[in-house]
Structure 1
Amino acid sequence: MDDVKEARDPAPAVTRSIRLLGLLADAGGPRTLTELAGGLGLAKSSTANLCLALEAAGMIERSANGYRLGLRTAELGGAFAAQFNQVREFYSVCDSSDVLRQELVQVAMLDGADALYLARHEGSLSLRLGTPLGSRLPAALSAAGRALFAAMSDDDVVARLGEDAVFPALTERSTTTLAGLLEILAATRKRGWALDAEESFRGIVGVAVPLPGWAPADPPLSLGVAIRAIEADFERIERVAAALQEAARALTNPFSAAARR
């Protein structure tokens, strides 16, 4: 069956290269030629040819322990995020905020059932951890993802996730059921901001707000802050949430339907 699919593929080398990049992105570290060949189901000689072409293009690089993603992939990721007006203005808006200039602030979008992180502002007091650019978290568990879901109807959330959706228990606090998520989203809509109380990472509290797309073709985004749990008293959470709401207003197109509501 795979042979039939590949025979219909108009550019099998491109498809294989994309799969190889995906293997390296998911690996979290270098992978040897043997490991890559096994993951692709290809001969080592064919895999080596793919690696040579990708290495020449700067998409991957060779280290003592194998192959890893190259600098060109970071440039492309940055170029993708920079397509959106809000991401380009995000850093200056954070720097102009008395609250957010001190915080770790991130921009995320939905990709399937995940929150995909596109941009990151390192504040003066920010955490030296969190979600690296291009990384993902289950949207049902992260504040950034919940802010995006809260901007949708419950029916749309169920359609996206499935009626039988269950979520991984990343910590002992994680919500794992769709019914539990819908209750959380109702509370999120009522107060105007989303909360992740150590459900994605132990010791980290997330606060986030939705950010409607600037142009009709832009995806909905969210703005979120990660705070150490030991520092996340309710006063700070509310202060951060208010600052995020103000930043979202500054980053929302004044002529958009969302801004007029």
Structure 2
Amino acid sequence: MPKLKREGEADNRSATDFIESLDRGLRVLELFGGGQQPMTLSDLAKAADLPRATARRILFTLERAGFVASDGKLFRLTPRVLVLASAYLASNHVVSVLQPALDRLSSDAQEISSMAILDGNDVVFIARASPTRVFSSGIDIGYRLPAFCTSVGRVLLSRLSDDELAAALQAMDIAPLTPFTVTDKKRLLQAIKSDRAQDYSLVDREAEPGFRSISVPVRRYDGTIVAAINMGAHVDRVSASEMIERFLPPLREAAASVKSLLV
């Protein structure tokens, strides 16, 4: 299991403003998001790069606070952690404005639609809509994927300048998720530039085998890209050309419908 470490960032705040114990506790909470739970104390200590005694104290504190439960050997999250997520979603202006547009888009197209934002080198899906006839599965709220191999990620990365984009790609740890994943950084740079020029991105089987998706940027009133919305389908059901013909126009319409409402 890979170790989870924070990247240090220089700012103007004093080192005394940093609460190391809180940072360590948040790191331990994040580890449960990797689909590994339940986890043992040893697993968590190793993954968080913490002494076993420190990890034990953190887990005991999280257990006392109701965020973690244990049977004496294995630790797992409790539903109380949803309080943190719901607070973010309730306070996020983009989600509140765009959710009705996503619902209309999904209902009209009879397909699942999602919205994502950029978080470091990953995209995080923070809103979703599904028509009642479609079985709701797969990508859900809170799901994370690498930005470089997803259509929403490439749309969000396209907001960077050429120099910023090249530097961001150079710093990324890029590994293939499928046999079709593009990992050459020069090819990725050109692909994202092309997506920027055409104002949409279509990614074919690079993030998940047998799945392709198309995304458009969501801009606020001043043109700044603040999110991306997408629709996807299995390759056997919808061709790439059909995605452009059928999905792209309503995606663009949904994004345009909220532009003046986003501040």
| TM-score, scaled to structure 2 | 0.80
Q: Tell me the equivalent position of 1:3.
A: none
- Structure 1, residues 117-138: CA drift from partner, whole Å, max 9, x if none? 2222233354644333223212
2:29: which partner in 1?
A: 21
Output the amino acid matched with 1:174.
T
- Counterpart of 1:96 in 2: which secondary structure? helix
3-state SS, counterpart of residue 222 of structure 1: strand
Instruction: State how far apart, in whole Å, the 1-side matches of 2:142 and 2:229 are.
Output: 15
Tell me how far apart the structure 1 counterparts of residues 72 and 214 of structure 2 sit (CA, whole Å).
40
Counterpart residue type for residue 150 of structure 1 = S
1:1-261 alignment runs, 5 A limit: 11-39=19-47, 40-44=49-53, 46-62=54-70, 66-97=74-105, 102-126=110-134, 128-162=136-170, 167-213=174-220, 220-233=226-239, 234-253=241-260
Judge conservation of contact 1:108–1:119 (CA < 8 Å) in 2: yes
Residue 165 to residue 19, structure 1, CA distance change in 2 (3 Å): closer
- Residues 175-212 of structure 1: CA deviation (Å, up to 9, x unaligned): 11222112222332343311111110001111111112
Partner deviation per Cα, 1:100-119 (whole Å, 9 max, x = no partner): 56222111111222212222
How far is 1:72 from its partner?
2.7
Report which stretch shifted further, 227-236 or 191-200.
Answer: 227-236
Aligned mates of 1:16, 1:98 — CA distance in 2: 40
Structure 2 regions of 5+ residues with no counterpart? 1-14
Alpha-carbon distance change, 219 to 236 in structure 1, aligned in 2, over 3 angstroms? closer
> In the TM superposition, what whole-angstrom CA distance separates every residue of 1:209-256 from its partner, at most 9, and x where no partner exists?
11124699x972111112111112222442211111111011212687
Most deviating of 135-144 and 59-68: 59-68
Distance across 2 between alignment mates of 1:99 and 1:27: 31
TM-score of the superposition, structure 1-length normalised? 0.80
